[in-house]
Amino acid sequence: MQRLRRVEYLVRKFEIRCSTHEAWAKGKPAMLSSSDHLSCNLPELRALMKRHEAFQSELAANDDRVERIRALADELGKLKYHDMEAVNRRYSAIVSTTQEMKRLSESRERELARLLPVLEKIDQLHLDFAKLAAPFKNWMEHTEEDLHDTPIIHTMAEVQRYLSAHKAFESTLEGTEKENQAIEFCAKEVSRLARENKLGSFENPYTSIQPDELPKRWALIKELVKKRSDALHNEEQRQLANDKLRKEFAQMATEFDKFIQQQKTAITKNAMEARGTLEEQRDQLKRLESELMKHKKMLDDLDHCNQALEDAYVFDNPFTTLSMPTLRVAWEQLFTSLHHSVNEIENQILTRDSKGLSVEQMEDLRTCFSHFDKDRTGRLEPNEFKACLVSLGHKFSDDKRGGETDFSRIMQQVDPGRKGYVTFEGFLNFMTRESADQDTAEQIIQSFKALAGDKGCVTAADLKRYLSPEDAEYCIEHMSRMNGPGGDNGALNYQQFAIEIYGPRRQ
């Protein structure tokens, strides 16, 4: 009876110890044989190694429990327990599981230890990648923006500056390529280690930059560099073509401007030298106009060249200060000046014919005008005109104020438009008018002299005898009495009267 109780006690104890061990060991072999360590990064692997170290301690401590189960099984055997087969089978299973766990634990320990330097290498490569990739990506982003930017170029100097800067940039790409290769090495080395150690994919803990995005952007940068180089060389060719057009325009414009100046000189020379009759001078200017029209092709060629420049969006020309608008204006002004000269000569012809001037008189007036035209402009400044008048016998008051008033009156006659100068036409009109006025004064004096019986004075009785009452009364009222004995007889000064009406006589 006592044996039975002892057996019953031992069986119950054996059951409890085996169940406890089996519950503890459940899932442990699967855990030890799992490949979860292959998807870990370095910190996670180190955590797994710590947990495995703790498990090994626990596994070692479990040996005492297994030994106690063995002791219970041996004692039940000694007591001839009837179901020893089940006891031994269960104990054998526990021993087998324990040995398997030890084998798996040792294998996992070796695997974790082997993997540790691999993940340390990968972690260092990740860190190196992050340190290199961040600034490299930032540089590529800025460079891509710059290369996408289209430069606005107007001159050869500008395109040369851009080409020089681009070549300097291209020379730095060799060093940049080495940086890219170092980054690619880090990424490829990580992939190689992961592949050789059958590791799963995992993220770089130090950066969000993906290894595959940098090669794509680097390839784009190199493509953009080539495109920029091609674009700048194309622009260089365009600017060479533009400079060729600029120089062509400058040469043509210079020649055309020189031609314009020569024709202006010819017109001025014709006016100043005044060779031949007025009709011959006029005909010469008209022939000049016909010759000018034959040279209009120069202006048309300039227009075509200027249009080519505008079509190429070229609006500046460092090779000349001349522009198409100024040349067109110069061409039009040339014809305006020519027509004005022709018109002036025709007016001179009318003046000459109406005043009955001879060719010699016209030449004398032209010679006089040209003599005082010191700067050869074809016109007289006020001081030159005044000197001319003085040389011709005109007298001005010694009083500065009075003299200036007399000259201002004359200037108003010859320069009614207040341009500040006297043309030959105005000079001619003034001189012929003065000549006409002088002839009239002389005629009046001679008439009064005949009326007075060839005396130097006339009496009121003489005037009443030969003039109408109204004219006689007007003359008596306006003629001054002569000084001296003759005045006592009522003699009148007809010479002063004529001068007051028609101006002073020429000396």
Q: Which two tokens stand for residue 252?
A: 């043509």
Kindly indicate the confidence band of residue 506, based on its pLDDT and cuts at 50, 70 and 90: very low
User: 3-class secondary structure for 73-124?
Assistant: HHHHHHCCCCCHHHHHHHHHHHHHHHHHHHHHHHHHHHHHHHHHHHHHHHHH
Q: How confident is the model at residue 103 (pLDDT cuts 50, 70, 90)?
A: very high
442 or 431, greater pLDDT: 431
pLDDT at 253 over 90: yes
Q: What is the CA radius of gyration of the chain?
A: 63
Q: What DSSP designation does 486 have? A: G
H-helix or E-strand spanning residue 423: strand 422-423
- Give me the mean pLDDT over the 267-272 stretch: 72
Lowest model confidence (mean pLDDT) among 198-202, 223-227, 292-296: 198-202
Residue 166 has pLDDT above 50, yes or no: yes
Say how far apart CA 270 and CA 280 lie, in whole Å.
10
Torsion region of 453: left, alpha or beta (phi above 0 gives left; psi -120 to 50 gives alpha) = left
**Which tens digits make up the pLDDT trace of 316-364?**
888 899 999 999 999 999 888 888 888 877 777 777 776 666 777 777 7
Total-model pTM: 0.53
Contact, 249 vs 309, CB < 8 A? yes
Q: Which helix (H) or strand (E) holds 347?
A: helix 324-355
| Residue 410 vs residues 381, 414, 422: alpha-carbon distances, Å | 13, 6, 11
Could you report the per-residue pLDDT of 27-69, keeping only the tens digit for each?
Answer: 888 888 888 878 888 888 888 889 988 988 888 888 888 898 8
Domains of the chain: 2-118 (1.20.58.60), 140-244 (1.20.58.60), 245-354 (1.20.58.60), 436-502 (1.10.238.10)
What angle is formed at CA 62 by the lines to CA 74 and CA 93, rounded to 5 degrees? 55
Residues 507 and 505: their CA atoms lie apart, in Å, by 6
State the average pLDDT over residues 72-85.
87
